[in-house]
Structure 1
């Protein structure tokens, strides 16, 4: 495991899965504001998705309702993605192509085939549009000022560089 993942690994091992599921569902829902992928989640309404991180013995279960992620009680799932923390980190940071992670079996999908393929394709096509996110979060009156300030300070290049890595 990469040294920089050690604090995250310890955190995942020390708190109950329900706490992580709750925190991550709130974070994901915030990050999804203004993103194309958010509109695609409606196709998964009512589905339960699990993320199983083998090396931390963590299993996070979410349900999708009205295009939003929520912590799901219990351990039942329709689709589960399994792997090590490092693979999930590579997926989340886009440091590795999702297809590569899945085809090399570094990440595995179990459960409903059609739902699993839909989720994998969503992950594969995921690109974070930070400008759309700022517009969705800040609203039509404040967003233009924020975007102009970011561009004036040339922070947009830095933001794009972080997202690209």
Structure 2
């Protein structure tokens, strides 16, 4: 049997040790700070995704040249010497399927905006060519809007004869320069 003399010191020691242990409530961990989404970052991520999807879709049409620019914009050139006749703004009927493909590729991608840029050959005065190129860009813009792209996402401007992509010294070269390019940018 255990003697009281042996049990008492052990009991006293355990009481002393238990008195040293304090029982404080366990603090709940602080909640992580709420991370608020950055609308600008989300918009940029959406634009980048839609930009890549649009590039892939547009490159499926052999009549389009799609170039990624250093500033992340995308330049779409229509490869057709039949876009416009000299001194006209009327779209060639052969261009309609190409514009339909462009509209189908871009209409659902709301993070993308378009700047339609009109060009001319070097025939006529520079002032006349600026006006003509602006009207050509407007005609293509209106066609794209009619094909389903929201008007608020489409702008246009004319550059006249200032940016030829072929020599203007032949009928074929001038026909190539009578064109409209589309610059794809983030919608703001």
Q: Relative CO higher for 1 or 2, CA cutoff 8 Å, sep ≥ 6?
A: 2
Superposition TM-score, scaled by structure 2 size: 0.24
Of the two, which has the highest radius of gyration? Answer: 2
Q: Indicate the structure with greater helix content.
A: 1
